[in-house]
């Protein structure tokens, strides 16, 4: 039996390859003007995370959860994990927590990206 770490690593290789191929295919069809490839990956990954959470819970598939959820879907898009966390908080009745999580994650991630751009531009100027 594979350890969870090996499952995640193998699943991640599959997921990242699928992300690359999906993003390229969408960009080939729709062009480069809008990040549609990323959007498609995020939406499809979130949908699949929803399907997997229910299917694995009902079918006792926790043994393959590291491979499928963290590995394949985590490699495909971390947005699926973000979506699951947000909806889990919401379904637990933690509306304020879910709202803070969504807004905080998006806004702080944008701030983090801007900070990274600024630092890299200063250091690598």
Domain boundaries, the chain: 4-77
pLDDT of 2 > 90? The answer is no
pLDDT of 1 > 80? The answer is no
- Per-residue pLDDT of 26-57, as tens digits, reads 999 999 988 899 999 999 999 999 999 999 99
Using alpha carbons, select from 91, 88, 58, 56 the residue that is nearest to residue 72.
Answer: 56
Q: At what angle do helices 4-30 and 36-59 cross, to 10 degrees?
A: 140
Can you give the pLDDT at residue 81? 86
Can you give the pLDDT at residue 33? 87
Joined tokens for residue 93 = 């009745």
Prediction pTM value? 0.80
- Per-residue pLDDT of 46-103, as tens digits, reads 999 999 999 999 999 899 999 999 999 999 998 888 999 999 999 999 999 999 999 9
Rounded CA separation 102/25 (Å): 29
Between 78 and 110, the more confident residue is 110
Can you give the pLDDT at residue 78? 82
Instruction: Say if residues 16 and 76 touch (Cβ distance below 8 Å).
Output: yes
Instruction: Say if residues 18 and 76 touch (Cβ distance below 8 Å).
Output: yes
What's phi and psi for 11, nearest 5 deg? -65, -40
């Amino acid at each position: 039996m594979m350890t969870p770490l090996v499952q995640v690593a193998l699943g991640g290789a599959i997921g990242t390859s699928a992300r690359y191929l999906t993003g390229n295919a969408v960009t080939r069809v729709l062009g480069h003007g809008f990040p549609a490839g990323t959007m498609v990956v995020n939406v499809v990954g979130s949908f699949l995370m929803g399907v997997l959470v229910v299917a694995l819970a009902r079918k006792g598939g926790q043994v393959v959860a590291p491979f499928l959820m963290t590995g394949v879907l985590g490699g495909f898009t971390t947005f699926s994990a973000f979506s699951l966390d947000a909806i889990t908080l919401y379904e637990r009745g933690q509306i304020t927590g879910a709202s803070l999580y969504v807004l905080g994650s998006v806004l702080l991630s944008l701030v983090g990206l801007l900070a990274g751009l600024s630092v890299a531009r200063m250091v690598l100027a």
